[in-house]
Amino acid sequence: MSAPRVAIHEVGPRDGLQIEAAIVPTELKIAWIETLLASRVDAIQLGSFVNPQRMPQMADTDRLFAHFNRHKPAQTILTALVLNEKGLERGFACGVEHFCMGASASETHSLKNTGAGTEESVARIVGMGKRAVAAGASVQVSVQSAFGCGFEGVVPASRVLDIIKRYADAGLTAMSLADTAGLAHPQQVEDLYGAIRALVPDAVLACHFHDTYGLALANCYAAFRAGVQSFEAAVGGLGGCPAARVQSGNTNTEELVRMMQMMGLRGDIVLEPLIEAASSIRNMLDCVAV
């Protein structure tokens, strides 16, 4: 029996940079993303279509898509995060083929992140997701703060599953759980993904872990055991959610890939460009911060 295929989704250009005070010039971002492309990861999230006044680090997402749509990579999908209809419109205008969008299971985090509560956010995401699919794009929907909230503490699994069911009822079955506060532990990860698999057997599952307590890789392994197929990570462990109480880094991409390769998976991904990209972005951030 062949080993199951897992996908690596590099989110450094978006989640890795969104909390940085320094603004990386577009030309340097392009050079950095080209290094990431050389690794042959499955997907790279170029940025998010959000208000540039609130998040100036993402103000050039349109320009990045314009550039890479002219120089389209052969084997890597380019993705973008959208949180509202205006962002979706910008994504359509840029020719985005894969949208990531989601709502938080934490009311407090939802209000801080989007200015809307969970119920309103879920309804918005369902509508946006159906619209994007109708336009021919692929869509991944997520539940943020799925494993706990830095503001509210425990987030009941039933609340997460209620959101998952609403996604599935709308035909949106590519689903991700985001550990926004970094509070997940491996048993919780296996249990929650197992419950989703029982609820939506045909779901295509993804995960997004933060490393607040050093458990990101352990949680990725637990997710793998639970049948998760796609893993989001950022080189160098960069990033975090600006609306989280503690802004902890993401799963480290090069460590994740190394672990997968030690398990006999994804030998086709080239590790050296990921290591180079992690070093180069640190140098870029140091330079532009001066």
- Residues carrying an active site annotation: 241
- Taking the C-alpha atoms of residue 248 and residue 105, their distance in angstroms, rounded to an integer, is 19
Which 8-state DSSP code applies to residue 16? I
Cα three-residue angle 275-272-71, rounded to 5 degrees: 95
- Cβ density class 61-92: b for 16+ within 10 Å, e for less: bbbbbebbeeeeeeebebbbbbbbeebbebbb
Residue 54, both tokens: 């609130």
Cβ neighbours of 116 (radius 10 Å): 18
The span from the first CA to the last CA of the chain, in angstroms, equals 53
Residues 6+ positions from 119 with CB-CB distance below 8 Å: none
C-alpha span between 100 and 149 (Å, rounded): 21
The position carrying tokens 């939802």 is: 110
